[in-house]
């Protein structure tokens, strides 16, 4: 174990390396760095009905339990200059989605036990805009890693252009555009399903 605790300037990459070496203070530093953000995300993403059965701290604990278990199996790495937030975001969104599905199943359906009040009307008025905003953030992060030509194809399709129109605009064949779009869908699905 190290003689000095990690400072606030320690990178996620260095902390992850220290966690793998068994340094508990590095694990604590990662937890302290991201727990509040994850707690806020879980609170925002949980419907009013789900919030009656699921505490955001449950999600945070589950995220870190999964993360540290997989770190022990050497499943995660942090590229130089990057951080772990996107990974924690994806894990948390999957945990929230799975918890919501669990609490909406058959007889335990949380929607049947919560009266429609001001909070429920507010959530209905949101129409899922918060979830859509988070999804857009994940998509934007995935787009940022693509080469310019590939990114342009995906952006045009997201803007609503048909595949043939995208092909004309970027000067590629329709089949080539379809292949790029399918690869992006697969990558995005991998990000969203990473913690299942």
Residue intervals of the chain classified under CATH 1.10.10 are 146-196
CA distance from start to end of the chain: 32
pLDDT tens digits, residue range 44-66? Answer: 877 666 666 678 888 889 899 99
Give the C-alpha separation, 99 to 53, whole Å.
10
Q: What is the mean pLDDT of the chain?
A: 77
At 102, is the pLDDT very low, low, confident or very high (cuts 50, 70, 90)?
Answer: low
Higher pLDDT, 88 or 132: 88
Q: How far apart are CA 134 and CA 34, in angstroms?
A: 17
Q: For the chain, give the percent of residues with pLDDT over 90.
A: 21
Nearest to 182 by CA among 144, 160, 159, 153: 153
pLDDT above 60 for 133: yes
Q: Are 150 and 105 in contact (CB under 8 A)?
A: no
Which of 35-49, 107-121, 137-151 shows the lowest per-residue confidence on average (mean pLDDT)?
107-121
Domain 146-196 sits in CATH 1.10.10: yes
Residue 104 has pLDDT above 90, yes or no: no
Cα(193)–Cα(196) distance, rounded to whole angstroms? 6
How sure is the predictor about 2, in pLDDT bands with cuts at 50, 70 and 90?
Answer: very low
Q: In the chain, which residues fall in CATH 1.10.1740.10?
A: 12-127
Q: Is the pLDDT of residue 107 over 60?
A: no
Check whether 178 has a pLDDT greater than 70: yes
Question: pLDDT value at position 192?
Answer: 67
CATH architecture of the domain 12-127 equals Orthogonal Bundle (1.10)
Assigned token pair, 80: 């130089």
| Residue 157 confidence (pLDDT) | 86
119 compared with 141, residue with greater pLDDT: 141
Nearest to 72 by CA among 22, 5, 13: 22
How far CA 15 is from CA of 9, 31, 69, 84, in Å, comes to 10, 11, 15, 10
Q: What is the pLDDT of residues 23-41, one digit of tens each?
A: 999 999 999 999 999 989 8
What token pair was written down for 68?
Answer: 């540290």
Confidence band (pLDDT; 50, 70, 90) for 1? very low
pLDDT value for 171: 94
Find how far residue 120's CA is from the centre of its chain.
24
Q: How far is CA 17 from the centre of its chain?
A: 22
The span from the CA of 144 to the CA of 65, in Å, is 29
């Amino acid at each position: 174990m190290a003689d000095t605790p990690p400072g606030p300037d320690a990178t996620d990459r260095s902390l992850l390396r220290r966690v793998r070496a068994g340094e508990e203070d590095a694990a604590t530093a990662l937890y302290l760095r991201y727990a509040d953000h994850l707690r806020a995300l879980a609170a925002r993403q949980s419907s009013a009905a789900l919030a009656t059965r699921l505490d955001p701290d449950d999600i945070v604990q589950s995220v870190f339990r999964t993360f540290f278990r997989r770190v022990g199996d050497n499943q995660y790495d942090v590229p130089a200059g990057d951080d772990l937030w996107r990974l924690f975001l994806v894990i948390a969104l999957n945990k929230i989605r799975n918890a919501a599905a669990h609490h909406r199943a058959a007889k335990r359906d949380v929607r049947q036990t919560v009266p429609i009040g001001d909070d429920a009307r507010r959530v209905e008025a949101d129409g899922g805009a918060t979830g859509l905003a988070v999804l857009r953030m994940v998509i934007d992060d995935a787009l940022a890693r693509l080469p310019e030509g590939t990114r342009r194809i995906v952006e045009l399709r997201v803007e609503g252009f048909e595949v043939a129109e995208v092909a004309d605009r970027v000067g590629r064949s329709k089949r080539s555009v379809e292949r790029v779009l399918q690869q992006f869908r697969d990558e995005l699905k991998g990000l969203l399903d990473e913690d299942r």
